[in-house]
Structure 1
Amino acid sequence: MSLDRIALVSDVHGNLTALEAVLADIEGRGIERIFNLGDYVGKGPRGREVVEVCRRRCEVNILGNWDDFLPDPARTYDTEGMAWWLAQLGEGQGDWLRGLPFSYDFLLSGRRVRLFHASSTSVHNRVRFDHDEREFLGMFANTPATGDGPPPTVVGYGDTHDPFYEVDRARRTLFNTGSVGNAMDDPTPVYVILEGVFGSAAEAPFAIQFVRVPYDAEAELAVARDMGMPEWDGYASELRHGIYRGEMHDPDGPKYHRRPAQLQ
């Protein structure tokens, strides 16, 4: 039986060097189908270029929280970083980002898969790895954001930058892709490969694989410095050490990135 493979990437956050390394790994494995779970921009220096590459290379592109709020014409920003990242977008890219679909459903080896960025209700509602049962079940629910239809049995999402895999006795499977451009704890970019029979309602082998791809973080930091990107020290903390920029000046804080953060 021939199985299809789909690469899932998420949370590139303007880190073009990391994205190029991950795409090279995907291409080297002969995978042609790439789905992107959002957050193309912000935090890193090259949102414009990341959007250009993803529009060209990704078969499916999904809305992320940064993609929704950063180019929102109703918002005004009084921080240097937000204004800078917004200014990096090319003509029409803000409209493209805000017009992306909320979720994407498909069949794979008899399982109904649903992908979205953060949760079933909103790109701004965060569900972390240490969720409770109510939050877990809520990820599989139909909502006004996802629309009607058969509920999924497999849900994949990004947003938290914490990759994980979980399954219950009803065979509901929840996983997080982690982040390509802004991975926490282990700062090595990570993406997911789904393997199965695409579009098939018949049960068949099904697999989820997490892949870490080393890249030249110092090259990306050099680009950010040369471009004069604000919050460079925080960005260096994240790319070099996987320490969230909001914690870099808190030596007594928790050791690992296992806590809420507002703008991941």
Structure 2
Amino acid sequence: MRLLLFSDVHGNLTALEAVLEAARAYGPYDGAYCLGDLALFGPHPEECLDRLTEAGVQALAGNTDEWLAQDLEAPTPTAQAHLAWCRARLSPEALAFLRGLPRALQAADLRMVHATPRTPHDDPERCGPDLPPDEARAVFGEGLVAFGHRHGAFLAISPGLVRVNVSSVSIPPEPRPLARFTVATRHAGHWSFAQHEVPYDPTPALRAARARGLPPFPWWQALVG
């Protein structure tokens, strides 16, 4: 079994296309999964939903997807401005799609969530690589768990638990146009994970952000310099 895993597209169609194209070199796949945060903070929210569907990618709900779908308030003024902008541009069908996303998916013995198994809204610090083993098991349980939310790829192994952060398509920790994804392979009952990054030209996304009046966001502003 081979799976394509990624997370945190955040409405960045240019980065999503870069991942889908680069990932073809490592296929074919038995499944493709996006682990949440599909639309908010980028200039192409609905287009990203359409592209994921077109590509046959199964998605689950991230915290920002639930902000949008459940008419929740965001925790900061910047995020709230993006929520208002994004909601105004999503069709009723797109909002219904977001409302229908599950919080978890499963492939063989691999559990997939956005942040932690208990909630996609959990503190990103609980999704970090340095979480003490006892705390990690208390938060994630046992077994094999793939997730996103905290934008940085890693593999953390502790007794009874393996955590895989599949990394983000958009808004990486550094202000650079790098889209990341993970290829998971299961053979003879054992999993291996290869984590990849692909640079892309952000010009189309930046042009769309300006043309569509995307509210200011620090990562996009840092790209411009």
Give the TM-score, by structure 1 length.
0.75
For residue 83 of structure 1, report the CA deviation from its aligned partner: 0.8
Q: Partner letter of residue 168 of structure 1?
A: S
**Aligned match of 1:158:** 148
For residue 177 of structure 1, report the CA deviation from its aligned partner: 1.1
Which structure is larger by alpha-carbon Rg, 1 or 2? 1
**Aligned match of 2:127:** 128
1:142-153 matched pairs, under 5 angstroms: 153=143
**Aligned match of 2:61:** 63
CA distance in 2, matches of 1:206, 1:71: 34
CA distance in 2, matches of 1:14, 1:123: 18
For residue 133 of structure 1, report the CA deviation from its aligned partner: 2.9
For residue 73 of structure 1, report the CA deviation from its aligned partner: 3.6
For residue 226 of structure 1, report the CA deviation from its aligned partner: 1.5
CA contact (8 A) 1:139 1:155 kept: no
- Gap regions ≥5 residues in structure 2: none
The structure with the greater share of residues assigned to helix is 2
For residue 211 of structure 1, report the CA deviation from its aligned partner: 0.5
CA distance in 2, matches of 1:186, 1:209: 23
For residue 234 of structure 1, report the CA deviation from its aligned partner: 4.5
Q: Size of the alignment, in residue pairs?
A: 217
CA contact (8 A) 2:116 2:140 kept: no
CA distance in 2, matches of 1:182, 1:58: 23
CA distance in 2, matches of 1:176, 1:125: 14
**Aligned match of 1:7:** 4
Answering whether residue 201 of structure 2 is matched by residue 216 of structure 1, we say yes
Q: 1:5 to 1:222 in 2, by over 3 A?
A: same
**Aligned match of 2:182:** 192
SS at match of 1:22: helix
Q: 1:156 to 1:81 in 2, by over 3 A?
A: same
Cα displacement string for residues 176-204 of structure 1 (whole angstroms, at most 9, x for unaligned residues): 0110011112741111000114xxxxx44
CA distance in 2, matches of 1:71, 1:219: 27
The structure with the greater share of residues assigned to strand is 2
SS at match of 1:209: strand
Once structures 1 and 2 are overlaid, which stretch shifts more, 73-82 or 59-68? 73-82
For residue 240 of structure 1, report the CA deviation from its aligned partner: 6.3
Cα displacement string for residues 26-52 of structure 1 (whole angstroms, at most 9, x for unaligned residues): 223333421110100111111100011
Which one of the candidate residues 201, 211, 216 is aligned to 1:226? Answer: 211
1:8-87 matched pairs, under 5 angstroms: 8-32=5-29, 33-73=31-71, 79-87=80-88
CA distance in 2, matches of 1:116, 1:16: 22
> Between the two proteins, what is the percent identity of the paired residues?
28
- Gap regions ≥5 residues in structure 1: 142-151, 198-202, 242-264
Q: 1:240 to 1:23 in 2, by over 3 A?
A: farther
Q: Which has the higher contact order (CA 8 A, sep 6+)?
A: 2
Which one of the candidate residues 162, 166, 174 is aligned to 1:173? Answer: 162
**Aligned match of 1:116:** 113
CA contact (8 A) 1:7 1:31 kept: no
CA distance in 1, matches of 2:164, 2:224: 25
